[in-house]
Structures are given as C-alpha cells and as structure tokens.
Amino acid sequence: MTIYDIAKEAGTSISTVSRVLNNKANVKPEVKKRVEEVLKKYNYKPSAIARGMVSKTMKSIAVLTVDVRVSHYARIIYVIEQEFSRKGYNVTVCNIGNSARECARYIKILTEKQVDGIVLIGSVFSKIIDTEENIALLKNTPVVMANGSLPYDNFKSVMVDDRGTIREITDYLFDKGYRNIYYVQDMDTPSANIKADGFRESLKLHNIERVESRIIETEYGLEGGRDAADKIIAMGREFDAVVFGEDITAIGAMKQFIRRGFKVPGDVAVTGCNNCSETRICEPELTTIDNKPELQGQMCAAILSDILEGKKVENGLVIKAEIVERESVKKLKML
C-alpha cells in the first residue's frame, strides 16, 4: 500500500495524498476527508525508509556503552531513551564491551544508517573512539560523550567531576578523624585513573607521605573487593578507612572485613562510588557517592537535542556529585 494506491482509490494525485498525510494546508476539506477514508480503509502506513530517503534522517539516535547490564549505564540510557522517544526518535543501544574493534564496527554501521546523533556513555570512549577512521566516519554526526571528552567540533561533553568527588570523600574521612586511609582501584579506565588522582590530591593536602603505597589494585567486583580487603589486612600496617572507586568492589571488601573480624565502621570505614542499589542492601549500608546518572542522561539528551534543532549549545558541562552518608563511616571517629 503506497500513496499511489491511495491516490488512485481516492481519485486524486499523490501530492494531495502526501499533503493530507503531512497535515499541510491547501487541501479542500471534502477531498481531505475522502483521502483519509481510503487511508483508514487500507490501514495505510507511510514508509519511514522512503521518507528518510528524502529527508536524510530516520529520526533515530544511537547510544554506545560498555554494557547495558551495568545499572549505572542503564539508568543513563533510560533517561536518554525516554527523552528522545518523546521527540519521535528511536534509540538503538550498542554494547561494545571495551572492544575498540566492536566500537569501530558499530560506528561504521551507524553512520551508514545515518543516525541523527550518537551518545557515548563511559570514559573508555575517550580512548577507544579516537581513531582517524572513526573520526572521519563521524564527521557529520553530532556526538555527545557522557564522562569523556575529545577535541573535535562535533563532539560535546557532559563530565562528572570524578577527581573532585574522590578528593572530597577522602577529605570527608579526614574531617571525621580518620588518618590511615587507603584507596582501592579496580579498573583502568580514564575515569578510574582520575579518581585515584583525587585520592592522591587529598592525601598530599593532608601531608601524608608514601601515597602510592596506599593505593591497592584489584579486580572489579565482589571477589576483587574481597581480595583487596585481604591484601590490606595482610600488609600488617594500620588502617582505619578504605576509599573505593566502585560500590560493588567496596561491598565485597566490606563483607570480607567483617568476615575477618573487623567491625565496619568501628574498626574500618568503607566508602563506595555510584550509589548503586546494592549500597542500600548491604549491612551496614554503604556511604557512597551519588554521581547523578539521571542528570547525566538528561544533559546528554538536552545537548544532542539542541544540536539537532540547530541551537547553540554550551560544551564542557560538569556535574557535581554528592556524598551520600549512610552507615559505613562513623559520624565522628574518636581519636
């Protein structure tokens, strides 16, 4: 069923059919009515592809992310999807799983499909997407990065102040009276590295020496956290607080500290980052950092929308995260 069929049946021309389809003026009411009846009779449905052929857009955007199953990313994606859905766009989700090759493959397909825009979620993209070929392919596609940035005209960013936030939560522990603070890094993304820098800053500010010896490396996850706790205990040095770059790893460590006879937060305070749902499940509930995924999604969507509507957009937005005080840090440590 095409507009040709409709036109023939309604005894008019395809232009007129097209006009009523697009609600344009200049169609005699009776003709319009006649066409609409035929439209309904055949349950006509315009071809978005044919329309895209002339309009150069299928009204769709793409979101690339490491993995939708990571709740933090899913929350960002959700907001973006809802926002664009309201504007008549569809969003296709791509899981690249840290693979530069996968990323390149997606970029190729997506640009061939002429998506109207792309949102990159996660700091990994700062590294992964910056190849000559990708950038060339993306030349005419607006790109918005959530927590990453690249110096191309068509790339915009919404950043989270990872460094500042980890510095703040470390300062916060010092304020509470903690002195022997450690940091656990469980990933090698730009974001993870910047977080560790925040920790370094805070320690230097407090005149702590041998900062590097206070940074423990492990794997991401419950098991990684368990290993980190074991490592810290095995070092045989004093410790009264451990800052983590990720909630889940923090929870794994907390469980292990408790299993090994330490009281949290009595003997050791633990802090996480992301404010994921698990932080309210564990015992004690985890003091963590809310880095506002919904806000990130909203800003990304707003920026991309503005670009698509030809508006001027401000780049370099920075989101301020917030400490969420719960139970894994004492109100005030007695010295």
Partner DNA sequence: CTGTTAGCGCCTTCAT
Partner DNA sequence: ATGAAGGCGCTAACAG
Partner from a copy of itself, DNA, none contacting 27, C-beta within 5 to 8 A by type: DNA
Of the pair 14, 222, the CB lying nearest a copy of itself is at: 222
Partner from DNA, a copy of itself, none contacting 308, C-beta within 5 to 8 A by type: none
| Touching DNA, residues 54-83 (CB under 7 A) | 54-55
Half-sphere exposure for 91 (CA within 13 Å, toward CB): 24
Count CB neighbours of 215 within 10 A.
15
Of the pair 90, 149, the CB lying nearest a copy of itself is at: 90
Q: Which of 53, 205, 235, 318 binds a copy of itself (CB under 8 A)?
A: 53
Is 137 one of the binding residues for DNA (CB under 7 A)?
no
Of the pair 33, 204, the CB lying nearest DNA is at: 33
Partner from DNA, a copy of itself, none contacting 25, C-beta within 5 to 8 A by type: DNA
Contact letters for DNA, residues 16-35 (x by CB under 7 A): x-xx-xx--xxxx--xx---
Partner from DNA, a copy of itself, none contacting 281, C-beta within 5 to 8 A by type: a copy of itself
Task: With beta carbons less than 8 A apart as the criterion, state whether 64 and 120 touch.
Answer: yes
Virtual torsion, Cα 92, 98, 104, 106, nearest 10 deg: -20
Of the pair 13, 315, the CB lying nearest DNA is at: 13
If 0-12 CB within 10 Å is exposed, 13-18 middle and 19+ buried, where does residue 191 land? buried
Of the pair 16, 328, the CB lying nearest DNA is at: 16
- Angstrom distance (rounded) from CA 258 to CA 156: 44
Cis amide linkage into residue 142, ω under 30° from 0: no
Cα 249 versus chain centre, distance:
19
Number of residues in contact with a copy of itself under rule CB under 8 A = 50
- Angstrom distance (rounded) from CA 39 to CA 48: 16
Q: Which of 7, 17, 19, 81 binds a copy of itself (CB under 8 A)?
A: 81
Across the chain, how many H-helices and E-strands are there? 13, 12
Is 83 one of the binding residues for a copy of itself (CB under 8 A)?
no
